[in-house]
Amino acid sequence: MAYLHTLDEVDVKDKRILLRVDLNLPMENGRVSDATRIERILPTIQELSKKGGKVILLAHFGRPKGRRLEEDSLRQILPALEQYLNRTVTFADDCVGRSAATVVDTLQSGEVALLENTRFHKEEEENDASFIAELAKNGDVFVNDAFSAAHRAHASTEGLAHVLPAYAGRSMQAELEALNEALLNPQRPVIAIVGGAKVSTKLDLLGNLVRKTQYLVIAGGMANTFLSAQGVNVGKSLCEYELAPTARDVLAKATAANCKIILPIDVVVTKKFEAHAPSSIVSVDKIDADDMVLDVGPKSIAQVEAILQNCKTLVWNGPFGAFELPPFDQGTKLIAQSAAQLTLAGKLRSIAGGGDTVAALSQAGAAEQFSYVSTAGGAFLEWLEGRTLPGVAALEK
């Protein structure tokens, strides 16, 4: 990467490497229920270990806000980490102080250690200078492989990069390469799909995307706000009526930027927000006063699929409907599968991200075929908004 320091530039042999990773994993009954984030960091850990570095993992878990909470201990991640790495990982009860120093001082070249949750110290989120200095005592080099935490200027995501030689890990590098290829220098036409529940959480993102893309598909509950702003009755659907002027503003900006906004032309409506509730397909001008829109209809799906055929790049965040409740998962599923096929055929570069999006694409069996699926939530959204992420900026040349 021309603009970032990467592992290609550093000799890590016998050095203590503070490696910031994302181990904020979903848990069920005390066990890791999805280890994707571990899989993503394996190449960096293995490379550093193979090159003879002493690998010291730093990570946060949950939101303990400076308290030592047993339920937020990284110790519970240790078995899964050891299993995926296929090696023993030494654990330190604290990320600073004597227990961290003892573990780090006895670590041999090539070995791996995990330090306890950085957020057990409130100074982590405050990006406190003396806490950064305490962390830095255990490292010669800082490597950041946690893109998903890079939108936070915390001690272990940003501060350390200013006091130690700092490099992007392989997962961070891959993520940025994929994302930059999608919006910084993409193959055109570019289509963005933005779905999900609310416009209010994605306003800045829409403003940025109308300037960067040729087609912007607005889907999910958000589409109701846009339809309503254009005088369509959306019945009892999720709709942010107070945002009508904002929605009209986005539409005007899109016209000015030559970006075509695609809204649903038909929808799936129901009277109850529950799985398998009786439903029907209506055009958007036929939504009843007691109807709830929970998905897009077949004409809307065909409309998006036709545009996809002519596009070279797709950026996707947010589902087309209430995908957790079948049959309201169909729009998301069918469009995801079309995008997956175009990607497999080499006609489309497809990038998706955001928590619900990953779940929706996996449910559709399409995530594997996408060119890149980001596991980041907030960081992916901030990147879509066109913001500079502090954790990334700190690694720039």
Residues with Cβ within 8 Å of 305's Cβ and at least 6 positions away in sequence, in order, are: 334, 335, 338
Residue 319, interface with ligand AMP (CB under 6 A)? yes
At residue 310's C-alpha, the angle toward residues 304 and 314, to 5°, is 65
Query: For ligand AMP, which is the closer residue by CB, 94 or 356?
Result: 356
Rule CB under 6 A: say whether 274 interacts with ligand AMP. no
* 100-108, 110-118, 178-186, 314-322 -> range binding ligand AMP (CB under 6 A): 314-322
Task: Single out the segment in contact with ligand AMP by CB under 6 A; choices: 83-91, 148-156, 196-204, 338-346.
Answer: 196-204
Do the bridges between strand 266-270 and strand 279-283 make them parallel or antiparallel, or are there none, so unpaired? Answer: antiparallel
Cβ(180)–Cβ(154) below 8 Å: no
Q: In what side-by-side order are the strands of the sheet with 313-317?
A: 260-262, 215-218, 190-194, 313-317, 349-353, 372-374
Minimum distance between the CB of residue 279 and ligand AMP, rounded to whole angstroms?
A: 12
**Residues near 381 by beta carbon (within 8 Å), at least 6 away in sequence:** 201, 202, 205, 317, 354
What character string, x for contact with ligand AMP (CB under 6 A) and - otherwise, covers 286-305? -------xx-----------
Residue with Cβ nearer ligand AMP (131 or 323): 323
Verify whether residue 53 is a known catalytic residue: no
Taking CA atoms, 353 is separated from 116, 345, 360, in Å, by 28, 21, 10
Instruction: Tell me how long the chain is.
Output: 397
Residues 98-127 that bind ligand AMP (CB under 6 A): none
**Residue among 220, 353, 390, 391 that touches ligand AMP (CB under 6 A):** 220
Residue 381 interacting with ligand AMP (CB under 6 A): no
User: Can you tell me which of 321, 353, 390, 391 binds ligand AMP, judged by CB under 6 A?
Assistant: 321
Contact pattern for ligand AMP over residues 42 through 61, marking x by CB under 6 A? --------------------
Quick check: 210 and 257 in contact, CB under 8 A? Answer: yes
Q: For residue 297, indicate whether it is catalytic.
A: no
Residues 329-368 that bind ligand AMP (CB under 6 A): 354, 356
- Catalytic residue check, 355: yes
Read off the tokens for 5: 């320091």
Indicate which residue of 37, 152, 212, 333 is catalytic.
37
Does position 176 bind ligand AMP by CB under 6 A? no
Residue 321 or 390 with smaller CB distance to ligand AMP? 321
Whether 312 is catalytic is no
User: Would you give the DSSP letter of residue 177?
Assistant: H
The strand pair at 266-270 and 292-296 is best described as antiparallel
What is the distance in angstroms between the CA of the first residue and the CA of the last residue of the chain? 10
- 58: nearest Cα among 159, 165, 177: 159
The CB-nearest residue to ligand AMP is 196
Write down the least CB distance from residue 157 to ligand AMP, Å. Answer: 23
The answer to whether 20 and 149 have CB atoms below 8 angstroms apart is yes
What does DSSP assign to residue 292?
Answer: E
Binding site for ligand AMP (CB under 6 A): 196-198, 201, 220-221, 238, 293-294, 318-319, 321-324, 354, 356
- What residues are labeled active site? 37, 198, 355, 378
